A and B are shown apart, each in its own frame.
Chain A
Amino acid sequence: MPLTIAEAAKQIAARKLSPVELAQERLARAEALNPTIWAFIRITPEPALAAAKAAEARQMSGSLKGPLDGIPFAHKDIYCTAGIPTTAHSAQFIDHVPTEDATTVKWLAEAGVVSLGKLATHEFAFGGPSFDLPWPPAHNPWNPKHFTAGSSSGTGAAVSAGIIMGGTGSDTGGSIRGPSALCGIAGIKPTYGLCPRTGILPLAQSLDHAGPMARTAEDCALLLQAMAGHDPADPASAQVEIPDYTAALGQGVKGKTIGVVRHFHEVDNPVSPATLAGIERAIAALKDAGATVKDVTLPSLWEFNYAGWPILMAEAFSVHETRMQTAPEKFGEGLRHRLAFGGLVSAADYIGAQKRRLELIARTKAATEGIDLLLTATAPGEAPPIDKVPKWALLEKPGFTMPGNILGWPAMSVFTGLGAGELPVAAQIIGKPFDDAGVLAAGHLLEQALGTLELAPKI
């Protein structure tokens, strides 16, 4: 089994694991596996080894910064990194070299992570898989002929393959939770505003969330601790007290009420038998742990998606309008066509979608009174073959992740097992605003109960 952050941190603290040797081993693994899974756009050995040596010096002097010090890590290539190209996986930004780190990149570096490079993403975090970009799309380590989902595709692949122990993702319509589900790892889209987006190339600002991806909920808690906080440079950044997410993992779910949004995954977009079985195993585990579980009815998945996609596409077009009008050929076809639809959303339709969004939030709040957490699917099933992903799939069936973006509530993908194709399936836990700790605690409990921490791709 690949080491988790929590396990590696203990070994580093006990001087049983050298951050430099760890970085060297993981850099070699990145170089060896990248021609198969294409998780990295750019591997950066020199700054990685410099950071690892600094971590090792702190290890030897007894001045480690904490559990992330010396941990192999990487950033999705929409997170700006000073002096290192940040391309958004696009020809449009192929020469873009930021002069400053994103706020979360800075905070994670201050916590001691060792960044091995920049990770593949769907172009500007939207669309994909695309085969007409300067780099190939990431492939799934469980079976490289299959899709990772996206847009944080490289992060999902690199964590799953045991190259990095954690990485950054972003989630505007499901881009953390989707690849976490299909790659069999953990990923949390935190509450809107909990992690600042300053220095992260935007997709759709009213839906964009930054967050961590890792093998386990515990590792996500460790990473979220470093990524959460107020940044006045992000107008949406929340000013809230940040709890100790790792300490809260032990709270479990005893005495909590879990609402199963059964109509999402049985009626609105029926899931595969393995996905459904995973959700039922999760329900049993939550009951065993002392939770009250009952069905809950929310607005349909279609309603969330009908409000979400016009908002997302219109905001994305506003970000890229000039590029679409002057050099559309420098986008991949998939993103170019989605942005074109975004340009056709009228002002009245955009305002209507935002009004609908507030109505959906109000209706969901009313329907979940007395309920602590929600449970449903993250994805309909296992990863499809990467060359058989329909270009317009997002418009054909309603996604399970858009409600979390519309609501702004914390939502996490939990690996529940393998399906008929020996590929991961997952469940999704959604919490109330700023109860990210409660979501992580439920995810932690489920990982232990379902035994999925014992599963890893044979690559």
Chain B
Amino acid sequence: MSETPTLETMNLMLARAGIALPAAEVEELRQHWPLFEPMLAGLRKPALPTSAELAVTYQARR
């Protein structure tokens, strides 16, 4: 479980996305951010970009 961000940090993150919400809703998002943030953190395992990477585009045709 990651840490709950400060109110200032939460407001800053939302502002960067252009989202303005009532204070009570920002507080709820702040309290629940530790449920979501680990998903993002799990995607950031450091790796050396030394090998060819998989294409990002999903291929529907086989």
Contacts and interface: CB of A to CB of B under 8 A. Distances in A.
Partners in one complex: yes
A192 B62 CA distance: 11
A352 B44 CA distance: 7
Contact of A341 (B29, B58, B60): B29
Interface in B4-56: 13-14, 17-21, 25, 28-29, 32-33, 35-36, 38-40, 42-44, 53-56
Nearest to A321: B18
Contact of A193 (B21, B42, B60): B60
A193 B61 contact: yes
A350 to B, nearest CB: 9
Given A340-B21, A343-B17, A395-B36, A206 B61 contact: no
B56 A336 contact: no
A345 B40 contact: yes
Contact of A236 (B19, B29, B60): B60
A408 B36 contact: no
Given A306-B39, A344-B13, A353-B43, A336 B25 contact: yes
Contact of B19 (A237, A324, A351): A324
A392 B25 contact: no
B24 to A, nearest CB: 10
Contacts of A352: 43-44
Nearest to B43: A352
Nearest to B54: A358
Contacts of B25: 333, 336-337
Interface residues of A, number: 46
Contacts, number: 92
Contacts of A239: 61
A310 B39 contact: yes
A401 B31 CA distance: 26
B43 A328 contact: no
A335 to B, nearest CB: 12
B14 A344 contact: yes
Given A306-B39, A341-B36, A433-B62, A359 B54 contact: yes
A52 B10 CA distance: 55
A309 B55 CA distance: 20
A356 interface: yes
A289 interface: no
A434 interface: yes
A206 B60 CA distance: 10
Interface of A: 192-193, 206, 235-240, 305-307, 309-310, 317, 321, 324-325, 328, 333, 336-337, 340-341, 343-346, 348-349, 351-359, 362, 392, 395-396, 408, 433-434
Given A306-B38, A317-B17, A344-B14, 12 more contacts: A236-B60, A240-B62, A307-B43, A321-B18, A325-B18, A337-B29, A344-B17, A349-B43, A351-B56, A356-B43, A395-B36, A396-B35
10 contacts: A236-B58, A240-B62, A307-B43, A324-B17, A341-B36, A344-B13, A344-B36, A353-B43, A355-B54, A356-B43
